[in-house]
A and B are shown apart, each in its own frame.
Chain A
Amino acid sequence: MRREIHAEWTKLRTVAGPGWLLAGMVVLTVALSAVAATTVTCGSAGCGHDATRLGLMGVQLGQAMVALLAVPAVCGEYSTGLIHTSLTAMPRRTTLLAAKASVLTAMALAAGTVAVLGSVLAGRLLLPGSGFTAEHGYAPLSLTDGPTLRAAVGSVLYLGLIALLSVGVATAVRDSAAATGVVLGLLYLFPISIRMIADEETQRFLWMISPTNAGLAVQATTDSAILPLGPWAGLGVLAAWAAAALLTGWVLLRQRDA
């Protein structure tokens, strides 16, 4: 599979788009985290905010950029016809899909690491200014703190899983506009629906199957006990979505004509 991975890496490396997108993803993630860390204030002890989660809020915007990286990387091959060349050169379709998914996930993880580290740093610098101080019961964000480290690592993995989800959906749908719509719909419609519905049972159910809500439970450090799912179980929900999407994409890639 090494050669396939090399081929996919060459495809992505030699166009300008992915580099800019990854840079944009880092900038947007850190920027939104910084905005959240500056604008949300803590007036007194026990103000109920989760400082770690605030500092990592930018992931909610960064995920859209990961989708924007992964979806066209797959769908672009179909719209330009490159897929014919790819499949001629690499006839084992499973390997091709695996190589593509690995390269894109690795890129998302790498950029995600930079973005998350940047967000944690921004949070560490900015949160004390918003009242998240020792007097109010908040230690500065630090990766030596167990839950914060878990939240940071979890956020990076979250972005990696979004890349996998996007690859899966894009392989299944093939059209980049439709695939983008499906991925962003999955990511952003659940939080809206949860707010709209009045029934608490249904709210919890929607929360538990929502890739964004459950997946980002991995960022929770203070209210993990109240959330319907634990941090890793929550990330598992997103992993299940990604696996389902990849499986669908894989089956369709093997069965359909290119």
Chain B
Amino acid sequence: MSTVTPYRSDLRAGRDGFAQLLRAEWTKFRTVRGWVAGIVAAALLIVGLGLLFSSGSHSSCMKGPVEVPCPAPVLGPGGEAVSDRFYFVHQPLDGDGSITVRVNSMTGQIRKPDVTAGVRNVVTGVVPWAKAGIMIKESTEQGAPYAAVMVTGSHGVRMQHNFTEDVAGRPGGVSAQSPRWLRLTRTGDTITGEESPDGRQWTRVGTARLDGLPAQVRIGLFAASPGDITVTANTIGGYSAASRFTEATAVMDEVGLRGEGTGGTWRIDDIGVTTGLDGVTPHHPGRLERSGGTFAITGVGDIAPLTELGSIERTLTGAMVGLIIVIVVAVLFVTAEYRRQLIRTTLLASPRRGRVLVAKAVVIGTVTFVAGLAANAVALPIGRQILRGNNIYPLPVSTLTELRVVAGVAALLAVAAVFAVALGSLFRRSAMAVIVAIAAILVPYVLATASVLPASVSDWLLRVTPAAGFAIQQSIPAYPQVTSYYAPASGFYPLAPWAGFAVLCGYAALALALAVHRLRRNDV
């Protein structure tokens, strides 16, 4: 009788935890010069191209025949760039008080594209966001905090404050038969807006808190009318949006002012009016025609956040080139194992195949994220500095938004890398994986932003394809109360930043799951 002792190696068993696996994959990555060089090149290109694009963009401002430095945009109370131009008929108000008015009509003119060259084509009408009503504003300074209740061209009664906030009241326009009564009441820092069809039954539209409002403010009547925008596709692949002159005239009466300081003479300010070529004559001024208690106020311009000057993410254009390099490196990180048969050793050492792939994804994702983060964190501030030197002021955003853009674009590259690793493992062929990754992420983006496809198709492309992830870089939101060209071509995505990013993550997770499934089922 003999007992068979099974063979046992004298070597101590190595640990095969996930940490060891990560270390193994990191070693593989770190020791291939081409891959490290690729990621470094991607980071350098993000910085280099960002700076190149910034220094290649110029803008100039003329005052008459002389070129002058472009004025920095007016900033609102929240730090955002705003347009603050309107006709204001106002009085001082000390402490609490209120203003009541009846709006009887709103008419206006819109300049349409010229039919015959050189002949102004002006039609009567009001643009949807023409606005007139009553306002309490800290001062007549552009960008000063305010709250206003107003009637609009075709969006009914609104209460707006501090440029970005907008609350809807009753819909419908105004006419002599159905006038609209408006009232603004100040109590401390709180301003309440109300409306009424007859001046007796009042409904509250909204309230605004203007923190730190000084005791003395301006209170009065205003009118404004944003430009009419037409967008034409540019033959060489961009678009140009032109904003043409419009004006709105509102007739108001039954003006009732209560509060200390009121009751004196009305002051008039055409806030933010620009001067014509000679530097003296106002360009498209507003006006007031007053007969007794009836005020006919004509205003031009808008009281709203700016959306069109260009945004900070423009400095990260190089990330597109970085994206291609990252995809190539990530695909190679997997397919090279098949080509060199290293995969057999890898799977022998770590037979739990799913974990191998996850470790690969974690390593390439982390490496890409760190490299992208460093590159973006350099490219964005320097690019903005260069743009300012070239008379271009990218729209300022909060620090949090800026961080989201910088980290978000890095995360976009990282998730694209994970997606590419999964595709590489799924197809085991480099060319196929690279093309599918680029066709899935970059081609929809190109088709959506640089082709003649209509905005509706572009929007769908950027909702359902992995290209939705580019939404993470949008720093300026699309404001429903501001007329602008909100299309992928001008940097506005159909999905919210994190929602778009989630779509990309979903694709990456799906690809990774399929890749793990195939790796488990198939022979290598």
**How many Å from the CB of A140 to the closest CB on chain B?**
19
CA distance A32 to B448 in the complex (A): 13
Q: Does chain A have a CB within 8 A of B430?
A: yes
Q: Does chain A have a CB within 8 A of B59?
A: yes
Given contacts A178-B328, A192-B449, contact A68 B238 (CB under 8 A): no
Give the nearest-CB partner of B449 in chain A. A195
Q: Does chain B have a CB within 8 A of A40?
A: yes
* B233 CB contacts on chain A under 8 angstroms: 48
Which listed residue (A36, A191, A202) contacts B450, Cβ 8 A?
Answer: A191
CA distance A94 to B457 in the complex (A): 46
How many residues on chain A are close to B (CB under 8 Å)? 51
Given contacts A181-B325, A199-B57, contact A36 B453 (CB under 8 A): yes
**How many Å from the CB of B351 to the closest CB on chain A?**
26
**How many Å from the CB of A66 to the closest CB on chain B?**
11
* B317 CB contacts on chain A under 8 angstroms: 192-193, 196-197
Name the residue among B327, B431, B435 with the largest chain A CB count within 10 angstroms: B431
Q: Does chain A have a CB within 8 A of B265?
A: no
Q: Does chain A have a CB within 8 A of B392?
A: yes
Q: State whether B434 touches A181 (Cβ < 8 A).
A: yes
The segment from A5-13, A222-230, A236-244, A245-253 that touches chain B is A222-230
**How many Å from the CB of B387 to the closest CB on chain A?**
9
CA distance A223 to B234 in the complex (A): 11
**How many Å from the CB of A8 to the closest CB on chain B?**
18
**How many Å from the CB of A122 to the closest CB on chain B?**
16
Q: How large is the interface on B (under 10, 10 to 19, 20 to 34, 35 or more residues)?
A: 35 or more
CA distance A184 to B412 in the complex (A): 19
Q: Does chain B have a CB within 8 A of A57?
A: yes
Which listed residue (B53, B324, B435) contacts A185, Cβ 8 A?
Answer: B324
Q: State whether B53 touches A197 (Cβ < 8 A).
A: yes
**How many Å from the CB of B204 to the closest CB on chain A?**
42
Give the nearest-CB partner of B320 in chain A. A192
The 8 A CB mask of B328-354 against A (1 = contact, 0 = none) is: 100110010001000000000000000
CA distance A179 to B431 in the complex (A): 8
Q: Please report whether the interface of chain B is mostly helix, strand, loop or mixed according to DSSP.
A: helix
Given contacts A184-B324, A202-B56, contact A75 B236 (CB under 8 A): no
Q: State whether B332 touches A175 (Cβ < 8 A).
A: yes
**How many Å from the CB of A20 to the closest CB on chain B?**
11
Q: Does chain B have a CB within 8 A of A138?
A: no
Which listed residue (A36, A49, A67) contacts B435, Cβ 8 A?
Answer: A67
Q: Does chain B have a CB within 8 A of A155?
A: no
Q: Does chain A have a CB within 8 A of B58?
A: yes
Give the nearest-CB partner of B430 in chain A. A177
CA distance A18 to B358 in the complex (A): 32
Q: Does chain A have a CB within 8 A of B438?
A: yes
The 8 A CB mask of B33-64 against A (1 = contact, 0 = none) is: 00000000000000000000100111100000
Give the nearest-CB partner of A38 in chain B. B457
Q: Does chain B have a CB within 8 A of A176?
A: yes
**How many Å from the CB of B59 to the closest CB on chain A?**
7
For chain A, residues 53 to 69, give those with C-beta under 8 angstroms from any C-beta of chain B. Answer: 53-54, 57, 60-61, 64-65, 67-68
Q: State whether A189 touches B236 (Cβ < 8 A).
A: no
The segment from B116-124, B274-282, B439-447 that touches chain A is B439-447
Total number of residue pairs linking A and B with CB closer than 8 Å: 142
Name the residue among B236, B320, B328, B339 with the largest chain A CB count within 10 angstroms: B236
Q: State whether B431 touches A177 (Cβ < 8 A).
A: yes
Name the residue among A54, A175, A181, A203 with the largest chain B CB count within 10 angstroms: A181
Q: State whether A72 touches B429 (Cβ < 8 A).
A: yes
**How many Å from the CB of B314 to the closest CB on chain A?**
6
Given contacts A71-B431, A72-B429, A189-B320, contact A227 B236 (CB under 8 A): yes
CA distance A68 to B436 in the complex (A): 10
CA distance A193 to B50 in the complex (A): 11
Q: State whether A188 touches B331 (Cβ < 8 A).
A: no
The 8 A CB mask of B210-236 against A (1 = contact, 0 = none) is: 000000000000000000000011011
**How many Å from the CB of B326 to the closest CB on chain A?**
10
CA distance A191 to B375 in the complex (A): 23
Which listed residue (B331, B454, B456, B489) contacts A177, Cβ 8 A?
Answer: B331
CA distance A90 to B330 in the complex (A): 35
CA distance A182 to B202 in the complex (A): 67
Given contacts A61-B439, A191-B237, 13 further A-B contacts (CB under 8 A): A36-B452, A39-B454, A60-B443, A60-B451, A68-B432, A75-B431, A79-B430, A180-B438, A181-B324, A188-B438, A196-B317, A197-B317, A228-B236
- Closest 6 A-B residue pairs measured CB to CB? A177-B430, A181-B328, A198-B57, A191-B450, A180-B434, A176-B431
